[in-house]
Amino acid sequence: HTHTHTTTSSMDVSKLLAEEESRQSALLARVQVQRNEDFTLDPGNMLVFDPRPFELKGDVNPSEQLLEATQENLQLLTNAIWELPVQRIEEGVLAKLPLPTTPLPREKPVPKGKVQTRWEKYAAEKARWRALLDFASLSRSLS
């Protein structure tokens, strides 16, 4: 299949420009999310909390509805992250995340302090005595 070069008319150029403008506005519409409902962003934890109840809409596939809500929330988070200060490195651009505002629960309780065994107590006491004797012999040698 060979391609022949033809001169492009102004009609073709304006059509191409209109198509590109339409494509760009469609992309921009996906990036610019407008939300009036209450939601919470925590860029430090990279979290979005969306308290809206998830309600099924008529004949639309529930998976598609969930995907749409997820994409909207993710776009809100992405927009918030790109508003943060950034740092350029060799591999790309890093956003400087703020400290998290939402405390996250632990899966397991905080570990308790380990109880020393009799041997560990003996070794620690012996080390203290040795340090004390070393200090005493050092002070005698300096006198």
Whole-structure pTM value? 0.51
At 96 the pLDDT is 92
At 9 the pLDDT is 59
At residue 10, the 3 state secondary structure works out as: helix
Structural tokens at position 115:
């109880």
Structural tokens at position 25:
């506005």
Cα 65 to Cα 17, 32, 48, 59: the distances in Å are 33, 19, 17, 11
Q: How many helices (H) and strands (E) does the chain have?
A: 3, 4
Contacts of 38 (CB under 8 A, 6+ apart): 51
What CA–CA distance (Å, rounded) separates 84 from 95?
A: 6
72: pLDDT strictly greater than 90: no
51: pLDDT strictly greater than 70: yes
Q: Mean pLDDT, the chain, as a whole number?
A: 81
124: pLDDT strictly greater than 90: yes
Radius of gyration of the chain (CA): 32
